[in-house]
Amino acid sequence: MHVRRLGALIVTALVAAAVSGPAATRAADAPEIVIGSVLPLTGALAQTGAGLRTAQQLAADLVNGHVSYPLPMVGKTGLPHLGHARIRLVFADSQGKPDQARAAAEQLITQEHAVALIGTYASSTTATASQVAERAGIPFLNPDSSAPGLTARGLKWFFRTTPHDGTFAENFYQFLGDLKKSKNIAVKRVAVVGEDGLFGTGAGDAEEAGAKKYGYDVATRVSYPATTTEVNAEVQRVKTSSPDVIFQASYVPDALLFMRGYKQQGVNVKAIFAQDAGFVDPNFLKAIGADAEGVFTREVFSMDIKYRNQAVPLIDQLFRQRSDGAKPLDGNTARDFMGVLVLADAIDRAGSTKPDAIRDALMKTNIPGKLTLMPWSRIHFDATGQNDGGAGIIEQLQDGKYETVWPFDVAVRPVVWPMPAWKH
Amino acid sequence: MADAGVEALTTFEQLLAGGLLAGLVFALVAVGLTLVYGVMDVVNFAHGEFLMLAMYATLGLALVGIGPLVGLPLVAIALFLFGVVIYRVFIRRLLAGPPEATVFGTFGLLVLLQGLAQSLFTGDFQSVPHPPFQGTLRLGAVALSQATLVEGIGALVLTGALFAFVEYTETGRAMRAVAEDRVAATLMGIDVQRVNALAFGIGAACVGAAGALLMLSFPVFPTAGASFALTAFVVVALGGFGSIQGALVAALLVGMLEVLGGYYLAPELKMVPVYVAYLAIVLLRPQGLLGRR
């Protein structure tokens, strides 16, 4: 019994040493640097929030540790320019509610003396929490909210690493531009189809703006109620506008109605570009079967990014270990992981915990895309605080599975163009 | 120019056919409601949730190898029993109270059933595996979904059967008598509770059959019924209380207005002509298109 307990103690000590790194290299009196994190830890988004917390904590531990990965600030036993000070994350619960997020941000700044804030996942809570940071003059890093308007508020202390919904629309046009160069494809007319809620109209507006910017004609814009039970008129509108490609933002039932309608009415286009959502739902794929072959969708993240950065599967493994087994790294958790590294990098370069210095360092951030877990070209903030290197990836349904086809350097399959015509 | 004219005509034919079929699907969902709401004058706000339950029942049978068409009678029987039980333990008590009681009570039932479905079956969208009739029927330039066609035929058969039942059977006549004057019916020796329970059960059985057929072309999820129920209420009110054939006519009208309006106006405005027609009927002919009152 004693022996076993002693053995367990030794193993625990070894593991602790391995995780925390050689304590000797750290100045014993190096201060801890507190980063405040606002996340939905309870409420409807609690499950997502728990994953984000695990990802952020993993990133902080790797910054404080000594094991090196091809990622910024990882494995340097803390922040070298600050005497290897450790970073410490303090979490506060937003409950997914804007007013709670505000209170959480206030608490982190006034009581925990956080030098910077990170969070908060839902766009509505990010809006309020970042206002608190703005008033207090504390840098706020948002790794995971996609409402385009967040960086259009003229805030001085707000930085966003993730691309927003407008970026994904642009990606489709960039992809078309790349295909024009490599395959000499001809696309001129685009149909913009989407449900009439925030999701569909936001995507549709961005797609229409992109058409103008990149020189395409909008053949038709179709906006329909998401709860509709038939799409006869909508499909006919698309058909008679004879587009080359269709942009589509739909949930599952309406995505099914449209795909069946396109097939019935013989709406043959070169490509359908879906905004994720219904088109990637396993139940959509099961119900529609081979009829969806060739559909494109956008994604924020894919394990295929491992072809660009070998750290992806390693971080995935560490993340799984901490999230009770089976939960893999995904777009949300990978973005939050990167967010902590970006803050650590800025604080280290600032060489100071003064808010002004950290803000200046954030504005000079320039992390190459290859050193991230994301499909981005780089992390670099424009004047609004938006990362201008953000990008999504484009996947295509090939043999019943979505495969990465763009950007070309992380693609696992060549693009199939045009999509197969309907067989009757 | 001639080509453009031909194309416009083809589009119109397609929209007309699509609208008629869409209308038949609305009729399919409204059939059960025409009896309970139309003939019995009992408002059941949980009608859509009965439909949702029927769709889940069909899915369950499909997962053990019984397809939607074979499963249809089983689902209809199950829903009949469900309807009778709900009436006996719940609706009956509501009817004894003030008129608002049925409105709030059945709305509560709606919330309860949606919540139960959410927790039991999750919010996922689920379809039956390999449903039959997934092809397209072509009549000249017009292309129609076979599944929707089967659903439309189902609507016609169910409406016809219900009409015959209410008009020509003893029980049907009793139902109409109860709807017309509850007290007088009681005095005539009609067991009102029994008749009501039966009507509620038959209405539920109709929605059960509808749910089984809808699984040919729709996925089920906790709020799947709600999308159909609102249209069904409009259809019954538009068609006229007490008129089963009126509901069928109204459903076809709603389907065509929705599809033609969606195309020639704008898809986001497709419900506008439907509600305008509804308002016009309510103002000018409150008893509905073929209503008797």
Evaluate whether residue A185 is within a structural domain. Answer: yes
Tell me, what's the pLDDT at A25?
45
pLDDT band at B2 (very low <50, low <70, confident <90, very high): low
| pLDDT confidence bin for A277, thresholds 50/70/90 | confident
Is residue A324 situated within a structural domain? yes
pLDDT at A3 over 60: no
Q: Are residues A44 and A159 in the same domain?
A: yes
**What residue segments make up the domains of chain B, in order of their start?**
16-121+131-225
| First-to-final CA distance of chain B | 51
**Selection from A340, A348, A374, A344 nearest residue A52 by Cα:** A340
**Tens of pLDDT along B150-201?**
999 999 999 999 999 989 999 899 988 888 888 888 888 889 889 999 999 9
Do A8 and A71 belong to one domain?
yes
- The whole-angstrom separation of Cα B15 and Cα A341 is 56
- Contact yes or no for B34/B239 (Cβ under 8 A): yes
C-alpha B90: how far from chain center: 22
Question: If you measure CA to CA, which chain A residue comes closest to B269?
Answer: A224
Say yes or no: A30 and A175 in one domain.
Answer: no
The C-alpha atoms of residue A100 and residue A273 are separated, in whole angstroms, by 37
Of B129, B219, B267, the CB nearest to A253: B219
pLDDT tens, position by position, B206-265: 999 999 999 999 999 999 999 899 899 999 989 987 788 999 999 999 999 999 999 999
Q: How far apart are the first and last CA of chain A?
A: 73
pLDDT at A177: 95
Q: Are the beta carbons of A230 and B18 separated by less than 8 Å?
A: yes
> Which of A24-33, B65-74, B96-105, B118-127 is predicted with the least confidence, judged by mean pLDDT?
A24-33
Residue A328 shares a structural domain with residue A263:
no
Q: CA of B130: which chain A residue's CA is closest? A: A287
Report the residue from A228, A236, A264 with minimal CB separation from B15. Answer: A236
Question: pLDDT tens digits, residue range A118-129?
Answer: 999 988 999 999
**Domain region containing A267:** 166-299+393-410
In a domain, A102, yes or no: yes
Residues A14 and A118 in one domain: yes
CB spacing of B11 vs A240 below 8 angstroms: yes
* Residue B98 CB neighbour total at 10 angstroms: 9
H helices of A184-231, in order, are 198-214
Decide if B22 and A229 are in contact by the 8 Å CB cutoff: yes
Q: CATH number for the domain including A247?
A: 3.40.50.2300
Is residue A415 assigned to a domain?
no
Residues A68 and A159 in one domain: yes
In whole angstroms, give the CA distance from residue A375 to residue A368: 11
- Quick check: B126 and A240 CB within 8 A? no
Gyration radius from chain A CA atoms: 23
In angstroms and rounded to an integer, the radius of gyration of the C-alpha atoms of chain B is: 19
Query: How large is the ipTM?
Result: 0.89
Distances (CA, A) of A194 to A115, A146, A205, A222, A278: 42, 18, 10, 6, 11
A299: amino acid identity, one letter: E
How many domains, in total, are found in chain A?
Answer: 2
Do A12 and A130 lie in a common domain?
A: yes
Across A95-126, b (16+ Cβ under 10 Å) vs e yields: bbbbebbbbbbbbbbeeeebbbbbbbbbbbbb
Q: Are residues A192 and A76 in the same domain?
A: no
Residue A84 lies in a domain: yes
Cis previous bond, A110, omega within 30: no
B44 in A contact zone (CB under 8 Å): no
A205 shares a domain with A125: no
Judge whether A289 lies within some domain.
yes
Write the residue in A233, A239, A253 that is nearest to B270 by C-beta: A233
Do the domain assignments include residue A388?
Answer: no
Do A174 and A284 fall within a single domain?
Answer: yes
Going by the DSSP 8-state scheme, the letter that residue B90 receives in this structure is I
At residue A313, the 3 state secondary structure works out as helix
**What's at A39, amino acid-wise?**
L
- CB environment B267-288: b (16+ within 10 A), e (fewer): bbebbebbeebbeebeeeeeeb
Give a yes or no: residue A34 inside a domain.
Answer: yes
The phi, psi pair for A237, rounded to 5°, reads -60, -45
pLDDT of A137-146, one tens digit each? Answer: 999 999 999 8
Same domain, A7 and A26: yes
Considering the domain architecture, whether residues A233 and A121 belong to the same structural domain is answered as no
